[in-house]
Amino acid sequence: LRIEANLYNAIRNDNLSLFFQPKIELATGKMKGAEALIRWHQGDKVISPGEFIPVAEESGLIVTLGKWVINKTCETLRKWCDEFNQVPSIAINIAAKHFIDPKFVEQLKSCVSSFHLDPSLIEIEITESSFIHDIQLAIAVIEQLRKSGFKVSIDDFGTGYSSLSYLKVLPINTLKIDRAFVEGLPENDAIASTIVMLGQQMDLEIVAEGIDEAKQLKWLQAHGCALGQGYLFSRPLPQEEFENQYLEPE
C-alpha cells in the first residue's frame, strides 16, 4: 500500500522518466528502433520497474502508469520528429490489464493524433499473459491496433502461457526472444533456434533480448536473427543520452 501511494504521487509529480534502449540490426550494428523502459526517480536514486511494476499490476495503478508512458512516448516522438532525421519507432510495454481495458485503443489513438504522429512510430509490446483470460478479446485488440497503423510484438516470448497453437491467428509483427534463451547461447540453443525458425516460417520479425556477449551475437547472426537488444550494444539510456548517441539533428 505504501509503494502504491508513493507511486501515485510519483505519477502526479512526474518523478518518472523513460529510458531508451536501442534495437540494433545485427548484420550492420545500425540502430533500428528503441524500447522505452520506465524509471522512478527518488532523489538521486533510480528505482527499476522490476520493483514497482508488479505492485502497480496488482492495483489499478498500472493503467494510470501505462497512460503516462503513452503520453510521454508521444511527447518524445513529437520532439524527435521536430528535431532529428530518421526518427526511430519506440516500443512500449503495456501490461495485460491495460491492454484489455476497453478504453485502451481509443486513448492511444487519441494521444497519437493529438501529437500529430504516424502510428507506425509506436510498437506495442505485450506478453503472453494478455492472452490467458480471453484470447478472442486479445485478437480483437491486436486487430484494432494493426488496422490503426500500430505495430504489435510479443515480449518475453517462450516464457509464458504456450502460444504456439494460436500464434498463427495473431496478427502481430514481432516476437522478442526472452533473454533467458539468449543467455545460454551458443551452447544451449534449442529454444532460440526454434523461435528463429518460427519467425522465418511465419514471416515475423524476431528480436533477441539481453545480448551481452559477443558469442551470443555471433550465434544470432549466423542463424538469421535480424535484430537484437542488450548490454553488448547499450544499456537503456536517459533520453538525452539516447538522443546524443543515436539521433542525427536535422
DSSP output for 38-91: EEEEETTEEE-HHHHHHHHHHSTHHHHHHHHHHHHHHHHHHHHHHHEESPPPEE
| 206 to 66, 71, 109, 189, 250: CA distances (angstroms) | 25, 27, 26, 15, 30
The three-class DSSP label of residue 128 is: helix
Binding mask 139-178 for Na ion (x = CB under 5 A): ----------------xx----------------------
Binding mask 127-166 for Mn ion (x = CB under 5 A): ----------------------------x-----------
Binding mask 40-59 for ligand G (x = CB under 6 A): --------xxx--x------
Neighbours of 149 (CB within 10 A): 14
| 125 touches Mn ion (CB under 5 A) | yes
Smaller CB distance to Mn ion: residue 155 or 243? 155
| 196 touches ligand G (CB under 6 A) | no
Strands 227-228, 45-47: parallel, antiparallel or unpaired by DSSP? unpaired
Whether 145 and 105 have beta carbons less than 8 Å apart is answered as yes
CB of 217 to ligand G, least distance (A): 11
Smaller CB distance to ligand G: residue 38 or 185? 38
Helix (H) or strand (E) holding 18: strand 16-25
CB of 249 to ligand G, least distance (A): 27
Q: Cell triple for residue 44? A: 538521486
Which residue in the shown chain puts its C-beta closest to ligand G?
230
Burial 87-113 (b: 16+ CB within 10 A, else e): bbbbbbbbbbbbbbbeebbebbbebbe
Smaller CB distance to ligand G: residue 173 or 249? 173
Whether 232 and 211 have beta carbons less than 8 Å apart is answered as yes
Smaller CB distance to ligand G: residue 17 or 144? 17
Closest CA to 198 of 143, 157, 243: 157
Which residue in the shown chain puts its C-beta closest to Mn ion?
155
Work out which of 58, 83, 231, 248 binds ligand G, going by CB under 6 A.
Answer: 231
CB of 78 to Na ion, least distance (A): 27
Residues near Na ion (CB under 5 A): 155-156, 209
Residues near Mn ion (CB under 5 A): 93, 125, 155
Residues near ligand G (CB under 6 A): 21, 37-38, 48-50, 53, 69, 93, 95, 155-156, 179, 209-212, 229-231, 236
